[in-house]
Structure 1
Amino acid sequence: MKTSADPVRDYLAAVEREASTLPADRRQELLADLAEHIEVTRAEHPDAAIGTVLAALGDPRTIAATALSEAGGRAAAGVPAGSGAEAPSARRGKVHPLVPLLMLTLSLPFVMVFPDLPGPLFGVLFRIVGAVLLCTSVHWTGVQKTTGALLTAVLPSVVIATSNLSDGGPAAGTPTLLANLGMLAVMAGTAAWLWRVRRA
């Protein structure tokens, strides 16, 4: 029974097979990006098993489907795939990965600084739009997106709503301030983690 000697090579070969309808230059660019990401991740986390690193990247079929849909979007916009005319952000995704992270993290300080309307309204809108941008981004895996959305959007909303209900309304007391600062620390930490693990 023959076993694979190089799981990275097998993974990249699977992506190449799934993305066979991509133009050759775009397919090679995709493979080079993935190989670089794997190399950087292994250098940053030398103790991580290669299977864990590859699982974090995602299924080869999903990666290929995303690349194919991006190529289709560029073709529909009149930009030839692999032409090099598009900006790097257009190749990777429509929104820079820092945008959703900033929106999610700054939603709470915005409400803390402007506690009266329209402060809370804008804070909630920042949180919702940031979560949507995070979940539709190509820079993170599904697990990373779910974890990020739960820790930066859902958990703070639940804690703030619970605090407001238990206090009979929003109060500027020490317990509320401490809860807000704790949530801000969780949100900032999660955003920093998402930034560190993002795909190039």
Structure 2
Amino acid sequence: MNNPTEHPLVRAHLDAVDRYTAPLSDERRRELLADLLEHVRVSLAERDPADEDAVRQVLEQLGSPQQIADAALAEEGRTRAEPETSSHTTLTLVLAVLPMPLLLVPVIGPGLALVATIVAAVRVAKAAQWTRREKTQATVLLLSPILVTPLAAAVVAASSGLDLPGVLLACAVGFCPAPVAAFRLARSAARLRTAALITTPR
């Protein structure tokens, strides 16, 4: 591995710092990550970047992602929010994908699906383990049924009439982005938990 900053441990470490410093402005986080990358690059310049022990030593010198985040946040009078427990994250993800099966419930299904989507979006906005960019993207996907479903219904109505199967089809199309959001959030949360384990000093 010619570039030490591409080492999985380095990427995991910086990824965790990025997430823990989510309350900071995007510009401040970019500056912080650039400084950390430069420190890693210089520190590993004369070492074997494939030597995992050497990489770990450099990362331990930097401090844990939590310590780095706490110091950066303290400069702006902020504190680091602890990530949600896995049970809370699971509940959020379940609410995100729940609208799809709820659409099969007669009469009240679409309404319940919309409520579940809104609750999931609120939970995502309040969660600590996702960055602002991830929250924005997920919120757009989760709330897109509000616009996409009526458009899909209009297309179905124009082509074959809006009977019950047509309504269900329009709702299914409208709520398709929700599982995509849940998948991306789940993958991001899993990466953060992995990063926290990997970057814990041995």
TM-score (norm 2): 0.51
Q: Deviations for 1:37-74, whole angstroms, at most 9, x for unmatched residues?
A: xxxxxxxxxxxxxxxxxxxxxxx969x6233xxxxxxx
SS of 1:189's partner is helix
CA distance 1:100–1:171, change in 2 (3 Å) = farther
1:105 is matched with which residue?
97
In the TM superposition, structure 1's runs of 4+ consecutive aligned residues that sit over 6 Å from their partners are none
Residue 171 (structure 1) aligned to one of 163, 167, 178: 163
SS of 2:149's partner is helix
Decide which structure has the larger Cα Rg and report it: 2
Residue 186 (structure 1) aligned to one of 177, 182, 195: 177
1:17 is matched with which residue?
71
Q: Displacement of 1:177 after TM fit?
A: 4.8
1:162 aligns with 2:154: no
Q: Deviations for 1:116-172, whole angstroms, at most 9, x for unmatched residues?
A: 03x2322221111111001111121111111111112x2222111223355389633
1:139 aligns with 2:129: yes
2:12 is matched with which residue?
none
Number of aligned residue pairs:
132
The structure with higher relative contact order (CA 8 Å, sep 6+) is 2
Q: Displacement of 1:93 after TM fit?
A: 3.0
TM-score (norm 1): 0.51
The 2-side partners of 1:137 and 1:17 are apart by: 21
Q: Identity over aligned residues, as a percent?
A: 20
The 1-side partners of 2:38 and 2:110 are apart by: 55
1:1-200 → structure 2 map (5 Å cutoff): 4-6=38-40, 9=62, 12=65, 14-18=68-72, 65-67=79-81, 92-93=83-84, 96-110=88-102, 112-117=103-108, 119-152=109-142, 154-165=143-154, 167=157, 171-173=163-165, 177-198=168-189, 199-200=192-193
* Residue pair 1:164, 1:171 contacting (<8 A) in 2 also: no
* Residue pair 2:100, 2:175 contacting (<8 A) in 1 also: yes
The 2-side partners of 1:123 and 1:93 are apart by: 24
The 2-side partners of 1:121 and 1:178 are apart by: 15
Structure 2 residue ranges without an equivalent (≥5): 1-34, 42-58, 194-202
* Residue pair 1:100, 1:134 contacting (<8 A) in 2 also: yes
CA distance 1:114–1:170, change in 2 (3 Å) = farther
The 1-side partners of 2:38 and 2:188 are apart by: 27
The 2-side partners of 1:180 and 1:102 are apart by: 18
* Residue pair 2:97, 2:182 contacting (<8 A) in 1 also: yes
* Residue pair 2:99, 2:113 contacting (<8 A) in 1 also: yes
